[in-house]
Structure 1
Amino acid sequence: MIRLQNISKTYQTDKVETLALKDINLHVKKGEFLSIMGPSGCGKSTLLNLIGLLDQPGTGAISVDGKEVKSYRDKDVAQLRNRTFGFIFQSFHLINDLHVIDNVELPLLYRSVPAAERRRLAKEALEKVGLGARMEHYPNQLSGGQQQRVAIARAMVGKPQVLLADEPTGNLDSQMGAEVMDHLVKLNQEGTTVVMVTHDEREAKRGSQIIRVFDGQLVA
């Protein structure tokens, strides 16, 4: 489904050049739950951003469904990203001035989905994560675990093929983290491909495959 071939990525400032990833070859298969592990600063989040087309490699090629992304225009990459991927971040990235349901609707605005359909899909997504009664709350009226479940609903509202999660339980206690992991596993069982960055070995083992990154390279 998603293939990275001979990917390297370097970040450069005026004084320092940092090699974030080197010679990465990875195939993310449809329907799998892939866990990415490694120490802080090893390149895990960079790898996730490349898989999700949020960043471009310095060298190498990324293909989605057999077609190399380099051949796409910027506008086409944005459309492909919006259609294919849902994103969950450690710090939720919810907008506190918007009701929960309005936060969940946001990805659908970029698809020009009519208002009534946006509202229906957002309600459906929130009910799926057990927050149907909290639609008119603001994010700061929810617990951390509930906010992350809102973020999951927002990521899933457009029915993406792939869900990318960057330390999705990093700001949660163990009980709330377990709830979030249960939702990710359930979504995977229902057919969504999941790629998750985590420091937690127990969480990583709930997936179907673990890969490890060290100093920008995949290690056995």
Structure 2
Amino acid sequence: MIRLSKVSKTYQTDKVETLALKDIDLHVEKSEFVCIMGPSGCGKSTLLNLIGLLDRPGSGAIHVAGAPVASYKDKHVAKLRNNTFGFIFQSFHLINDLRVIDNVELPLLYRDLSAKKRQRLAREALEKVGLGARMDHYPNQLSGGQQQRVAIARAIVGQPQVLLADEPTGNLDSKMGQEVMDILLKLNSEGTTVVMVTHDEQEAKLASRIVRVFDGQLVA
């Protein structure tokens, strides 16, 4: 599904060069649940961003569904990212001035879909995460756990093949965090590939595979 080969990433400023990742070899199979773990600043989020095509590597190759991404123009990368990936972040990144259903609909604005179909898909995604009754609410009228469920609905509304989750329970209490994990596990059981960054060992044990990063490199 996704293959990284000898991928490295360096961030350059006027005075400092920081090596974020070095020689990463990683293959994520279709329908896997892969958990990425490691200490703060080790490169976990950078790795997730590269997998999701939010950033480009300094060297090495990334293949998605067998296709080398380096050969794609920016507009093709954006289309591939929108069609293939759904993103869930620790901070929910919801727009408070928009209703819940409008927040969920946002990724579909980049697709050639009618307004009626976008609304239908958004309603279905909200039903899937148990928030069908809250679609006309605004984010600040919801609890933290409910806001994260809205963010998950937004991530899955386009029926992505891969969900990328960066500390999705980091801002939640244990009960709400478990609710979010239950949703991710259910989506994975239905065939969605999940790649998640977490510090939580108990959550990581629920994944099918744990990948550990230390100082920008994969470790056993």
TM-score of the pair, normalised by structure 1? 0.99
In the alignment, is residue 132 of structure 1 matched against residue 101 of structure 2?
Answer: no
Give ranges in structure 1 of 5+ residues lacking alignment.
none
Deviation at 1:113, TM superposition (A): 1.3
Deviation at 1:65, TM superposition (A): 1.1
Deviation per CA, 1:19-72, whole angstroms, max 9, x where unpaired?
A: 000010000100000000000000000000000000000000000111100000
Deviation at 1:112, TM superposition (A): 2.6
Q: What SS class does the counterpart of residue 191 from structure 2 fall into? A: coil
Deviation per CA, 1:88-123, whole angstroms, max 9, x where unpaired?
A: 000000000000000000000001311000000000
**What one-letter code is carried by the residue in structure 2 that aligns with 1:210?**
I
Structure 1 residue aligned with 2:209: 209
Deviation at 1:77, TM superposition (A): 0.3
Structure 2 residue aligned with 1:96: 96
Deviation per CA, 1:136-188, whole angstroms, max 9, x where unpaired?
A: 00000000000000000000000000000000000000110000000000000
Structure 2 residue aligned with 1:109: 109
Determine the C-alpha separation between the residues in 2 that align with 1:206 and 1:115: 38
Structure 2 residue aligned with 1:146: 146
CA RMSD of aligned residues (A): 0.4
- Taking the TM superposition and a 5 Å limit, the aligned residue runs for 1:10-159 are 10-159=10-159
Give ranges in structure 2 of 5+ residues lacking alignment.
none
- Segments of 4+ in structure 1 off by > 6 A? none
- Taking the TM superposition and a 5 Å limit, the aligned residue runs for 1:177-188 are 177-188=177-188
Determine the C-alpha separation between the residues in 2 that align with 1:68 and 1:132: 39
- Taking the TM superposition and a 5 Å limit, the aligned residue runs for 1:193-208 are 193-208=193-208
TM-score of the pair, normalised by structure 2? 0.99
**What one-letter code is carried by the residue in structure 1 that aligns with 2:94?**
L
- Taking the TM superposition and a 5 Å limit, the aligned residue runs for 1:167-186 are 167-186=167-186
Q: What SS class does the counterpart of residue 163 from structure 1 fall into? A: strand
Q: What SS class does the counterpart of residue 126 from structure 1 fall into? A: helix
